[in-house]
Amino acid sequence: MQAVKVGLLGLGTVGGGTATVLLRNAEEIQRRLGRAIEITHVAGLGIASQTIFDPAKVKLTEDAAEVVNDPEVQIVVELIGGYILARELVLTAIANGKHVVTANKALIATHGTEIIRAANEKGVTVAYEAAVAGGIPIIKALREGLAGNQIQWIAGIINGTGNFILTEMRDKGRAFDEVLLEAQKKGYAEADPTFDVEGIDAAHKLTILAAIAFGIELQFEKCYTEGISKITTVDVEYARELGYVIKHLGITRKTDAGIELRVHPTLIPRKRLIANVDGVMNAVLVQGDAVGPTLYYGAGAGAEPTASAVVADIIDTVRLIDAPAVYKVPALGFQPSALSVAPILPVELVKTAYYLRIDAEDKPGVLAEVSEIFADHEISIEAVLQKEPEEDEAVVHLVLLIQRVLEQNVNIAIAEVQALTSVMGEVVRIRVEHLGK
């Protein structure tokens, strides 16, 4: 059989990695597929200086539009990132009857509905395994490997930069700002780290996971997102004393009322396997009704780990390149006509447990006052830790773990606590998830 012709958009970190892996593993891939994959077109800025491809054999261009409009190209691999140009190129490729493989989480999370609809109408494939958790085949696990289950919830460490920062804070007692600087120097974090540390990147990925777990539309705009920039080493240490680790999790859960979709710092029990996922590594914990908990761990970023997912998508696409749609796994794992309209819950209607740190004057009665407020709202306190910070003996840190309660109810109680004259400043509040059944 003839080699399948692939056009690559972008020859940066992931594009270069994809080219390298496809070339290095060509023989192994052909052993699997019974067919060769050939990169015939590459578009990239400064393409003239590339050294991977022989310009006599591969069409090189600075203009990505040339690739998506070239009739020779059968599969377009979009690795340029961003929303605007990428959307245009992908839609043009689809309109031209080409299959698309992308690693672009922002694109799928925000324009996925439009792109998937266009692909379905045209009878082509859109594959995006690399968009979530890099090289971990979590899209495949959810869409196919766990297809016999009703997925109940997912909790994922799906941003390596954030996990690196939290791991360093915990292991070395270093402050957030200091570790962030190091992450930037190491190339883990962008110069503008907002997408990573404020949870936007994780929210893109979580949006995709929720859609394929529950068979709902992609709804990035409804994802609750809270970053880790306000986490302090004090809270990291108190969490440890209580047997917990703070992780930046993306959590999505199906409840009778609707679907939770939220990214925020979270205390999780240290004994959970996912609590031991450290540094830049990613992991996704999935609870299915039949299988129970399963966890998928690996590198969430980097040239070759991401390329691993891109190439797997290319292989899947090639295998069914001329197959009718009925033989293919639908883009969101569910038939487009069978998507559920279950609503995304506003965060006020989400029920979680909480870690609270209340800074108060060091005088008798504070614990009594605080306890009374929670008792009045019928909120149980599960654990209490009262500490005098070394640097200021006039203040006590009152740390509470409270039971699972609706966010809108805990908001009221916290407002009352903050109104106490002995309480200083804002109450620190971090959600707690036990990640058990």
Task: Check binding of 295 to its own copies (CB under 8 A).
Answer: yes
Considering beta carbons, is residue 145 or 258 the nearer one to its own copies? 145
Task: Check binding of 397 to its own copies (CB under 8 A).
Answer: no
For its own copies, which residue of 135, 156, 193, 250 counts as binding (CB under 8 A)?
Answer: 135
Residue 149 Cβ vs its own copies, minimum distance, rounded to whole Å: 6
For its own copies, which residue of 69, 294, 371, 409 counts as binding (CB under 8 A)?
Answer: 294
Considering beta carbons, is residue 268 or 427 the nearer one to its own copies? 268
For its own copies, which residue of 30, 194, 408, 418 counts as binding (CB under 8 A)?
Answer: 30
Cα angle 138-134-278, degrees, rounded to a multiple of 5: 90
- Candidates 2-10, 48-56, 315-323, 404-412; binding stretch for its own copies (CB under 8 A): 315-323
Task: Check binding of 305 to its own copies (CB under 8 A).
Answer: yes
Task: Check binding of 31 to its own copies (CB under 8 A).
Answer: yes
Task: Check binding of 145 to its own copies (CB under 8 A).
Answer: yes
Interaction mask 146-175, its own copies, x per CB under 8 A: xxxxx-------------------------
CA distance 215 to 143: 10
Say if residues 44 and 334 touch (Cβ distance below 8 Å). Answer: no
- Candidates 72-80, 119-127, 167-175, 303-311; binding stretch for its own copies (CB under 8 A): 303-311
Residue 136 Cβ vs its own copies, minimum distance, rounded to whole Å: 6
DSSP collapsed to 3 states, the chain: CCCEEEEEECCCHHHHHHHHHHHHCHHHHHHHHCCCEEEEEEECCCHHHCCCCCCCCCEEECCHHHHHHCCCCCEEEECCCCCHHHHHHHHHHHHCCCEEEECCHHHHHHHHHHHHHHHHHHCCCEECHHHCCCCCCHHHHHHHHCCCCCEEEEEEECCHHHHHHHHHHHHHCCCHHHHHHHHHHCCCCCCCCHHHHCCHHHHHHHHHHHHHHHCECCCHHHCEECCCCCCCHHHHHHHHHCCEEEEEEEEEEECCCCEEEEEEEEEEECCCHHHHCCCCEEEEEEEECCCEEEEEEEECCCHHHHHHHHHHHHHHHHHCCCCCHHHCCCCCCCCHHHCECCCECCHHHCEEEEEEEEEEECCCCHHHHHHHHHHHCCCCEEEEEEECCCCCCCEEEEEEEEEEEEHHHHHHHHHHHHCCCCECCCCEEEEECCCCC
Looking at residues 234 to 263 of the shown chain, list those that interact with its own copies (rule: CB under 8 A): none
Task: Check binding of 311 to its own copies (CB under 8 A).
Answer: yes
Considering beta carbons, is residue 43 or 332 the nearer one to its own copies? 332
For its own copies, which residue of 329, 367, 385, 420 counts as binding (CB under 8 A)?
Answer: 329
Task: Check binding of 326 to its own copies (CB under 8 A).
Answer: yes
- Catalytic residue, chosen from 98, 105, 140, 205, is 205
Considering beta carbons, is residue 249 or 311 the nearer one to its own copies? 311
- Candidates 55-63, 105-113, 172-180, 272-280; binding stretch for its own copies (CB under 8 A): 272-280
Considering beta carbons, is residue 203 or 307 the nearer one to its own copies? 307
Size of the site for its own copies (CB under 8 A): 66
Task: Check binding of 330 to its own copies (CB under 8 A).
Answer: yes
For its own copies, which residue of 68, 76, 210, 310 counts as binding (CB under 8 A)?
Answer: 310
- Candidates 16-24, 225-233, 381-389, 415-423; binding stretch for its own copies (CB under 8 A): 16-24
172 is catalytic: no
b vs e for 296-330, b when ≥16 Cβ sit within 10 Å of the residue's Cβ?
Answer: bbbbbbbbbbbbbbbbbbbbbbbeeeeeeeeebbb
- The closest alpha carbon to 98, from 134, 125, 64, 79, belongs to 125
Residue 28 Cβ vs its own copies, minimum distance, rounded to whole Å: 5
Task: Check binding of 33 to its own copies (CB under 8 A).
Answer: yes
Query: Tokens representing 103?
Result: 């690693």
Task: Check binding of 276 to its own copies (CB under 8 A).
Answer: yes
Q: Which residues are at the interface with its own copies (CB under 8 A)?
A: 17, 21-22, 24-25, 28-34, 129, 135-137, 140-141, 144-150, 215, 273, 276-277, 288-299, 302, 304-305, 307-312, 314-316, 319-320, 323, 326-330, 333-335, 338, 340
Q: Which residues are catalytic?
A: 205
